[in-house]
Amino acid sequence: MFPSIANRLNRRYRSAVILTVVPGGILFTADLVRQLDFEIEMDGISCPHTPGDRHNNSNISYQQNITVSNKDVIIVDDAIESGGTMSRLVAHIAEYFPASIAVATLFVKPHRIAIPTEQYYAYETATDELLVGYGLPWQNKFRNLPCVKRLIK
Ligand SMILES: O=P(O)(O)OC[C@H]1O[C@H](OP(=O)(O)OP(=O)(O)O)[C@H](O)[C@@H]1O
Ligand SMILES: Nc1nc2[nH]cnc2c(=O)[nH]1
């Protein structure tokens, strides 16, 4: 699964902090990290989001269980739609003086804003339609679907 992302990360890094955006990014992280051959530390961050909301202003919750200062950080999430959540997370982590910040996601959507950082993604979707499963919820359910489906309301 996701050989293109894992291969690119394996070529780029000797070590990194994998910072999972929880809970959505948990399933993708679990599969991705098992394909990484460099040293990793793992931590989590959250910024709760309502699917389809393009202006996520919720509080960022980051306990900093491990320090990221002077370390390479890879923020891992399931999807980028507007890009608003991830650009806020990148700006937030930058305040902790990491050596670098990259973003790895399973999906990116076409109308996302530019995020000025290294980016790795598996799939660019053709439209902004909502997906569920494999971490992605609908009304906080269905995250545990083992595959990703289009949401038909
Ligand atoms: O690019 P944006 O439009 O800001 O959307 C991206 C956010 O949406 C997803 O969260 P999800 O809907 O899975 O909810 P969660 O944060 O509770 O996992 C994803 O995990 C990002 O956090
Ligand atoms: N549930 C859900 N959340 C998202 N956040 C960004 N894109 C999506 C999506 O397709 N589904």
Helix, strand, coil share (%) of the chain residues, nearest 5: 20, 30, 50
The confidence band for 152, taking pLDDT boundaries of 50, 70 and 90, is: confident
pLDDT exceeds cutoff 90 at 13: yes
* 132 close to ligand 2 (CB < 6 Angstrom): yes
Is this prediction's pTM over 0.90? yes
Which mutation among 130, 149, 152 tests ligand 2's pocket best, with the greatest number of atoms within 8 A of CB?
A: 130
Take atom 4 of ligand 2 and give the residue whose Cα is closest: 51
CB 17 within 8 A of CB 45: no
| 128 CA closest ligand 2 atom index | 10
> Would you tell me how many other CB atoms lie within 10 Å of the CB of residue 109?
20
pLDDT exceeds cutoff 90 at 5: yes
pLDDT exceeds cutoff 70 at 23: yes
**Looking at the CA of 85, which ligand is closest?**
1
Take atom 6 of ligand 2 and give the residue whose Cα is closest: 81
pLDDT exceeds cutoff 90 at 37: yes
pLDDT exceeds cutoff 70 at 1: no
- Ligand 1: residues with CB < 6 A are 21, 23-25, 48-49, 51, 54, 56, 77-86, 136-137
Q: What is the mean pLDDT of the chain?
A: 94
**Looking at the CA of 77, which ligand is closest?**
1
CB 142 within 8 A of CB 132: yes
**Looking at the CA of 105, which ligand is closest?**
1
Strands 131-132 and 118-124: unpaired
Sequence spans of domains, the chain: 3-150
| 80 CA closest ligand 1 atom index | 1
pLDDT in tens, 68-89: 999 999 999 999 999 999 999 9
ipTM of the complex: 0.94
Tell which CATH classification among 3.50.50.60, 3.20.10.10, 3.90.1150.10, 3.40.50.2020 matches the domain 3-150.
Answer: 3.40.50.2020
